[in-house]
Amino acid sequence: MDLLHKRDFMASPYRSEREKLISIKRWNVRRFFKLLDSLADFLESDKCYRLADNYLIAMVFTYFLRASLEPDEYTQQNFFAALFLAYNMEEDEGEFLLAELEDWLDCTVADLKQVRYELFQRVEYRGAVSRACCDIVMRSANPEHKVWQRRRHIYHSGIVSKKTWYNDGEKTVCPVCNGYDSEEEDYY
């Protein structure tokens, strides 16, 4: 399918590292989206995309590629471990994710933490994934898929805007939380 330079995934200070390639093969994409299909109930229950927005899912796929997972390793447990790792890298509310994931796990939280650590080792402790890398993944791996449309509302982004604090009680609120969805609302 596409050959991407590793620099597209993460800048490295070492010339030899930048020149290595990460290959996205057709089977990687097929297996990943088959896995996402098996997680449809989980994704559907995440109405505001707080647990798995498009960038976190792109990070999960990047971890799968970096770890060189075999086809039989594209499992829900590995997905949740990679999502947990991505969440730890990008979000401030790691315990929130664990509390929300418990109902979906086929293992204990302690087991999930162990699998996350093993995955972190397999990616050689390269947990940082740039926004540019995520954009490349979304453009390269089934770009029309609905999972890439999972944009989180700015209210759930962890960014506190001036509007929230300084306009005498006026607040930017997620339209899904308010019971409606508007195209005019701010998404990131």
55 burial class (0-12, 13-18, 19+ CB within 10 angstroms)? buried
Contact between 133 and 62 under an 8 Å Cβ cutoff? The reply is: yes
**Distance between CA atoms of residues 130 and 115, nearest Å:** 23
In this structure, what DSSP letter does residue 22 have?
Answer: E
18: its two tokens: 């930048």
Residue 174 has pLDDT above 90, yes or no: no
Least confident segment among 14-18, 48-52, 81-85, 175-179? 14-18
**What's this model's pTM, rounded to 2 decimal places?**
0.77
Residue 101: CB atoms within 10 A of its CB come to: 17
Domain ranges, ordered by start, for the chain = 2-151, 153-188
pLDDT in tens, 104-159: 898 999 999 999 999 999 999 999 999 999 999 999 999 999 999 998 866 655 54
**Distance between CA atoms of residues 11 and 128, nearest Å:** 10
Please write down the HEC assignment for all residues of 96-156: HHHHHHHHHCCCCHHHHHHHHHHHHHHCCCCCCCCHHHHHHHHHHCCCCCHHHHCCCEHHH
Banded pLDDT at 167 (limits 50, 70, 90)? very low
